Structure 1
Amino acid sequence: MTQALFDYPSFAPGFGLANGHLQSVIPSVFRRVEVPFQRSRLELPDGDFLLLDQLKQSEQAPWVVISHGLEGDSRRHYVQGMARQFYNAGWNVQAWNFRGCGGEVNRLPRFYHSGAIEDLKAVINSVIVEQQAQQVFLIGFSMGGNQTVLTLAEDDLPTQVIGGATFSVPLDLAACADQLAKPAQSIYMRRFLRDLKVKVEQKAQLFPESVSVDGFDQIKSFHQFDDIYTAPLHGFKDAKDYWQQCSGRNALPHLKKPTLIVNAMDDPFLAATCQDNGRGDRSTHLYLETPSSGGHVGFARWKLNQPLWSEQRALAFAHYVLEKTK
């Protein structure tokens, strides 16, 4: 198991795929993976709800909880592929959808953000209480990775949580907002804003006293979006306050369980501070890997529908952590 942790082969892209933009786009567009999730609804204490998608095979099997990225959902290829990898290895799987991301509008004016770990903690608690899970491993992608890192640093982390693996994590939200504001990343920013506009329009219809879509088309960056929408809807002073409080980088010295973070050096979404593995105040539980290629939630070779390197890497790390807990 030590070899699985320390000598696991680094990601090597397929021929012609050693490009961060290709790695980010090609799997998202062309990969097709489907698993037979069973959907349920988790009611939350504040009157809202989350939509959960589950694969269960054994009462005794360990559980993996999977968190998607910004404007993603449990239908995304990377969630389905990770679920397939763990289920085929004998794990129970609980994927979940951020508020408003599972095909239904959530009930409250708020929706989700990079630091909304109370929802992830509610999912973890439901697996522990309702499924009697004894070992829970967390996996997160992008924004869901940031939430996972923050959760693994919480003082009240349940003892049943044994560790986690995260990929393409925007550990420094302010610097990543600057990165996505660059002209070279405009295609990604436009797509995010296009998808977010749908949610804002829905909220404006339901809660006109709290949300307005007026002027949305003038928004060009997360600096503007988070100032106008994310911060006021979720109790922050402004975008900078939100980024400062919710960046996963703050949690790195305080991790309570083994935590793998894999951030590719050619990820077009991430700033250099997200790949800084020279931090002097890092927790001994932190395992940061920075392969030269992989893009954003990519890590693909040409056989796109086969297990990705990230799926194999996460499972190897999970098995290592599981062995350590025995």
Structure 2
Amino acid sequence: MPIVKSDFSPTLPFKNGHFNTMYRPLFMKDTCKYDRKRISTWDDDFIDLDFSFVGGNTLILLIHGLEGSSDSKYIAANCNHLNSAGLDTVCFNLRSCSGEDNLLLTTYHSGKTEDVDFVVNHLAENYNYTNIVIVGFSLGGNLTLKYLGEYHNKIPSIVKGGIAVSVPVDIATAEKEMEKLKNKLYLEIFFKTMKNKILEKAYKFPSYHLDKEKLFKATKFIHLEELYTVPVFGFESPQDYWKKASSKPYLSKIDRPTILINAKDDTFLSPECYPQKEAIQSEYFYLETPNFGGHCGFMTSFKAHENKWLEKRIVKFINETIGVF
């Protein structure tokens, strides 16, 4: 599909990518009342799903980003707006992200689509919906795109399409971008919870031999990958992880309407994270690249009632392109 022309046009301060990225988590007060359902997994663990029911026949499965949860402001805001449009929602809290540590040494990573597949099949088999649409943000967006491409010939027909926002589809180059000075504060925020989680896992699982000194000194994602992701999930190296977890190679296999919305001023993303060629050559994969929006921001102004561009854009794509209304 051709590149989608974006109509996102924020006021002056929100044209700064960092400002737009930080405004939502720091100043928006979005919350959503959930009905939590805990499901047991095939590997003797659990996943917490947070539902918000309004009696719709379509269920929107939302997947948060790195170290997020159903409480993340962008998740709550979209749940509320989707509900107001008559759509039921469920937030998939990735393992260890629901407020309670999961039972296994393994948690989640950018490419762990077997968990997405498990949740989708659970929803398809246990709930009476006509349609399911997957909406993912950042890391959750990578999971969304990779799942729709990787599992394209096994996805239940009830899944009608997907939406992905602020996604590092090429992990190797995105991590290089994250290492730049402009993203130092974001890395520190992520690392605070990630390091604590790894320490807790090492305490609970003595067989996992963690080099704590290296953990404390870690300043890049590759350091945490060498200490945790690679050995715990069985990758050969960080490079092997980047290659296998990135969604970009799977975009051409997506066979139902799906859009990627990546702002051009998203400081997390490398040039390789704007897959124009893949969109132009695909019948189902759309790409929208607003000039502004930051990372999972897309705030328009200081007026709360005007800050619904992303929520409205998601509903519009579901309505007009996926066509489940």
Specify the alignment match of 2:52 in structure 1.
Answer: 55
Name the structure 1 match of 2:17. Answer: 20
- Kindly provide the amino acid, as one letter, of the partner of residue 42 in structure 1: I
Q: What SS does structure 2 have at the residue aligned with 1:17?
A: helix
Q: Distance in 2 between matches of 1:169 and 1:116?
A: 15
Q: Deviations over 1:208-256 (max 9, x none)?
A: 2115251211111011111221111112111110100111111111102
CA distance in 2, matches of 1:277, 1:16: 28
Deviates more, 1:233-242 or 1:8-17: 8-17
2:90 is aligned with 1:94: yes
Give yes or no for contact 1:13–1:293 (8 Å, CA) kept in 2: yes
- Superposed, 1:306-325 pairs within 5 Å as 307-323=307-323
Q: Is the aligned partner of 1:81 residue 2:77?
A: yes
Matched, 1:221 2:226: no
| Residue 188 (structure 2) pairs with residue 195 (structure 1) | no
Structure 1 residue 185 displacement after superposition: 1.1
Q: CA RMSD in A?
A: 1.9
- Alpha-carbon distance between aligned partners in 2 of 1:256 and 1:164, rounded to the nearest angstrom: 10
Residue type of the partner of 2:62? I
State the one-letter code of the partner of 1:248: S
Counterpart for residue 303 of structure 1:
303
- Percent of aligned positions that are identical: 31
Q: CA–CA distance in 2 between the matches of 1:26 and 1:160?
A: 36
Give the structure 2 partner of residue 72 of structure 1: 68
Superposition deviation, residue 305 in structure 1 = 6.4
- State how far apart, in whole Å, the 2-side matches of 1:6 and 1:190 are: 34
* CA shift in 2, pair 1:6/1:188, >3 Å: closer
Bigger drift between 6-15 and 244-253 goes to: 6-15
Number of aligned residue pairs: 320
More off after superposition, 209-218 vs 273-282: 273-282
Whether contact under 8 Å (2:6, 2:290) holds in the other structure is no
Superposed counterparts of 1:233-248, under 5 Å: 233-248=232-247
Cα distance in 2, alignment partners of residues 294 and 304 from structure 1: 16
Q: Which runs of 4+ in 1 moved over 2 A?
A: 5-9, 278-283, 303-308
User: How many angstroms does 1:322 deviate by?
Assistant: 4.3
- The answer for unaligned runs of 5 or more in structure 2 is none
How far is the alpha carbon of 1:279 from its aligned partner? 3.9
Deviation of 1:321 (Å): 3.6
Counterpart of 2:29 (choices 26, 29, 32) is 32
Cα distance, 1:190 vs structure 2: 1.3
* TM-score calculated relative to the size of structure 2: 0.94
TM-score between the two structures when normalised by the length of structure 1: 0.93
2:119 matches 1:123: yes
The equivalent of 2:229 in structure 1 is 230
Q: How far apart, CA to CA, are the structure 2 residues paired with 1:7 and 1:312?
A: 16
Partner of residue 182, structure 1: 180
Q: 3-state SS of the aligned residue for 2:276? A: coil
CA contact (8 A) 1:253 1:281 kept: no
Distance in 2 (CA, whole Å) between partners of 1:292 and 1:67 is 24
Could you list the runs of 5+ residues in structure 1 that have no partner in the other structure?
Answer: none
Q: Distance in 1 between matches of 2:305 and 2:118?
A: 32
